[in-house]
Amino acid sequence: MQEEQEQSRPLSLLDDIDALYCEEEDACNNGGNPFFPLDQDLFWDDEELLSMFSKETTQHKVVPAPDTINGADEFLAMPRCVAVEWVLKVNARYGFTTLTAVLAINYLDRFLTSFRFQSDNKPWMIHLAAVTCLSLAAKIEETQVPLLLDLQDEDTKYVFEAKTIQRMEILILTTLKWKMHPITPLSFIDHIIRRIGLKTHLHWEFLKGCEHLLLCVISDSSSMHYLPSVLATATMMHVIDQVEPFTPIDYQNQLLDVLKIKKERVSECYNFVVDVSDKQSQKRKISRAPSLNRVFQNVVVASSHS
């Protein structure tokens, strides 16, 4: 009777840990490849991949050249940077998904590069476009969307009435021809994530790293020069460098094979992504470093007590 009770008792925490350890051990022993599964498992959905390649090529033909924002038109470059920074800030504040931010920035860039939006427009109009693009992206992707007035930051320079944003929504939807589900770099990252599965902590670290780096990359208007597939591949390659420092080249080559992209196509974009990543790392170091005044104050206080 005692043996039956022992057999029927629920698994303890130790049992759970043992089970997880066994699964992890099996994963590591399965071909010695903890990051990507076996090659043949990765080639299960080439049709979807080919469809995305076709759609992004069509998008690239439709969207005007990015030089209208980057370099050729300095008027739009800075307001665009400020607008994107605002989108990311509000996106984080409300806990929206990465896809919501990516879509909002995609809408904004497509609208700014349209023939309807000329360089003689005022900065407040670009901010209005940013608010509207985030509102549209949130309505598409989020289950709970704040009111239009609540969506706007209290500290922002411009605050718009709901009816003004609603009118702008119609203008943007018309300008974008109601194409609100474009192929983005996140489309390709999501494709790879679904292929490898989120089976280990390393995979989750890879996903979060890709999402974070991608938001930093698309904040730079130079990112508009690259196809979504190229931008996504370069981003994933750099994240692989971070999470798998021992054999990154093997995994990067495997990624290129899966996505059917030649390394030469990605090399320029990869250098751009690395540059953006390095700048972000430098900013974090500066923001975390104590000021000289604080250091000197600490030294003075310590000396006075000694």
pLDDT of residue 48: 84
Query: CATH 1.10.472.10 spans which residues of the chain?
Result: 69-176
Full DSSP string of 199-214: -SHHHHHHHHHHHHHH
From first to last of the 306 residues of the chain, give the pLDDT tens digit: 544 444 444 444 334 434 434 444 444 444 445 555 534 444 556 788 888 988 988 887 655 554 545 444 556 778 888 899 999 999 999 999 999 999 999 999 999 887 555 555 577 888 999 999 999 999 999 999 999 988 887 667 888 999 999 999 999 999 999 999 999 999 999 988 888 776 778 888 889 999 999 999 999 988 988 999 999 999 999 999 888 777 788 888 888 988 889 899 999 999 999 999 988 877 665 554 444 444 444 444 444 554
Predicted TM-score of the model (pTM): 0.77
pLDDT of residue 97: 95
Q: DSSP E strands: which ranges in 37-149?
A: none
Token pair belonging to 141:
């992707």
Q: Whole-angstrom Cα distance, residue 202 to residue 140?
A: 30
pLDDT of residue 237: 93
Q: Whole-angstrom Cα distance, residue 233 to residue 253?
A: 11
Side-chain half-sphere exposure of 25, counting CA atoms within 13 A: 6
Spatial contact of 83 and 129, defined as CB atoms under 8 Å apart? yes
Q: What is the DSSP letter of 224?
A: G
**CATH for 69-176 (3.30.1150.10, 3.90.380.10, 1.10.3720.10, 1.10.472.10):** 1.10.472.10
pLDDT of residue 8: 45
Q: What is the DSSP letter of 115?
A: T
SS3 call for 284: helix
Give tens-digit pLDDT for 208-225. 999 999 999 999 988 988
Yes or no: domain 185-286 corresponds to CATH 1.10.472: yes
